[in-house]
Structure 1
Amino acid sequence: MSGQDEGPRKALRDGWPYFLDRIRQDLEPCGVGSMALASVATILIEEDRNRARLYEAGNISNPAWTMLLGLFVSGERGETTMVSTACIASGASLATAHRHLRRLESLGLVSVARDKNDRRRAYVSLTPGANGAIKGHLMHLQARLTTLTA
């Protein structure tokens, strides 16, 4: 990868902590329950970014998983997510992110819907089955982390 290509990716990675801090601030007053699971998802996203920075290798991240976690957090916050936003937040190139998103859709994990007022925009969300599976995974992870800190 050329140094010129690295610039936008580096800017995105460096900007990610601001996004995560904003999510964390929004979630802190919410306490336990689903919002606490959204906090666990946020931590997983942050750790993926930290791992990428630690090893300075862009190809050890998992854009599809990052998208799924981000969509889970957005859903728990009652927000809608544009396809372009999910792709950018994945940390991958737009072409790679779109490829992962199409794969997630073909697996029945996400649903993509066109904006009724502006056909150029599309929104993406987790399917109910994917939401339940991610919630179960995060609850399991949360329980494991709780036993470590108890």
Structure 2
Amino acid sequence: MKRTLLVVFLINAILVSTHKGEFWPFSIFPMFSQAGNPWSRGLVIEVDDMNRKDLWETKSLSSIDDRVVALREHGIDDIDYANFISKTKNWDEERIQALRNLFQIEQQGDAKWLASRVTGHLTEQDSVVVKVIPMFLVTSDTTYKNPDLFK
């Protein structure tokens, strides 16, 4: 029994030391090491009326559930989009054009999509707050910036 435990601990020590801590359960992957930290992802919302009064307002996730665009159905990699929208800090014209290219918006017909960033964090009361922040309204011929974010 002692020999078995010693062998298991020895194997574990070797694996952990040769993989820079990347051996479960000692992983530095976010799912193990960053629980409770604020996060940011991307989401696309279908827009039927570009003149909505609440178009650029920050919303709750439950208020837009029925309008979320399934990007994979349009041939768009949702992980690429999520990384692009959540990690880009400097939105110059080149980045905005890259967003349009990622959406392949010219092939989407008369689609009007609201490129949004979803953020979440844990409160001191152990509840999760999730906000949907509209960033760009992308149509077949134009991209509009959220006037509250890009002044």
Q: TM-score range by the shorter chain?
A: under 0.3
Greater RCO between the two (CA within 8 Å, min separation 6)? 2
What is the TM-score with the length of structure 2 in the denominator? 0.26
Structure richer in helix, relative to its length: 1
Structure richer in strand, relative to its length: 2
Higher gyration radius (CA): 2
What is the TM-score with the length of structure 1 in the denominator? 0.26
